[in-house]
Chain A
């Protein structure tokens, strides 16, 4: 048994070293940390103000609003992400650092350094490097954002020739994604598209949702493909 544990340790160690470690994104991380700190302080102030208000006006609030009304004020009802009209299939050239609205307040921006950042609040972006060591040439990444039945699919493609069409296949539908790229020949692009959730009621241990991404060249040749691996990330 101990031998089994030793080998498990050894293999985990070897597996972990498969990650190519680039330079630490210190400045971007500190920027995000400052935003988090600011939010926490603002929340503390708001909580203090709310406590004072509750002391002074608690009775009035209790008489003046129903439970339903108070619940609605504290937590607005979630609005499902309704599909927007299909974006044009032609890639759109954007400026470096230009924020592109992907819907429901989520934005993406491409940087001249070969990174893209997605987020809903300026300063809280998730920055991902495409031209770094961990993103192989000829590969496509695939991410999903969303709480409801409609999901925003976002990812990046790195390679030559440039992507002319990217499709996301989910729940039996083939969706044409909008491609965003920088001017010139940057060697990478970002895509996004709204679509249905692959498996809203996924349970632990269930098979992977049938979702895939395909990247095509101008001549129709498939350049890369990505399929969801079997995984279960439920906490």
Chain B
């Protein structure tokens, strides 16, 4: 039987699915299928407690918090890992632009971060969440949240991911100057 609450959830999920899938993609270190699993598992939990979630004054923040918890739980409890490749033998590789290379370097470096640091970086720089919102989503104190973001950035720098951003920064500067 269709209920009003179900309709509300259906509308909510349909409207948020693209953004949540993209956040999940970054949280999982760029694994498409893992991202779909994460987004779906998160929204299943959201639906299970929809009465509570819909009453929240910050539904999207609440859902991000659930997503981070689901993500860390999955690896703590079941150690499910999945990745997908499109590498087909003897298929010529298409030329890549410098921009694509930069994204690849960044995604590889992001995947190497511990899950919590990766989550902190993604919530800060992709979701544009405040430090206190990140702390709430990670279930840690403000100082720990700041430290996770800072350490994540430092590791990205050590991994060369942020060095690779220099040319991109130049491009952005040139764009702005035009």
Contact = CB atoms under 8 A, between A and B. Distances in A.
12 contacts: A6-B169, A6-B172, A11-B102, A16-B23, A19-B35, A33-B47, A33-B48, A36-B48, A142-B82, A229-B30, A229-B108, A231-B31
B40 A28 contact: yes
User: Looking at chain B, what size class is its interface with the partner chain?
Assistant: 35 or more
A231 B29 contact: yes
Contacts of B172: 3, 6-7, 10
B124 to A, nearest CB: 9
Interface residues of A, number: 64
B88 A32 contact: no
A204 B33 contact: no
Interface of A: 3-19, 21, 24-26, 28-30, 32-34, 36-37, 40, 126-129, 134-136, 138-147, 155, 204-205, 222-235
B114 A235 contact: yes
B84 interface: yes
B94 interface: no
A30 B126 contact: no
Given A32-B40, A129-B36, A147-B79, A4 B48 contact: no
Q: Is the interface of A mostly helix, strand, loop or mixed?
A: mixed
Interface string B62-77: 0000000001100110
A226 B85 CA distance: 6
Nearest to B119: A235
Nearest to B168: A7
Contact of B14 (A26, A129, A135): A26
Nearest to A197: B79
Most buried by A among B9, B14, B25: B25
B164 to A, nearest CB: 9
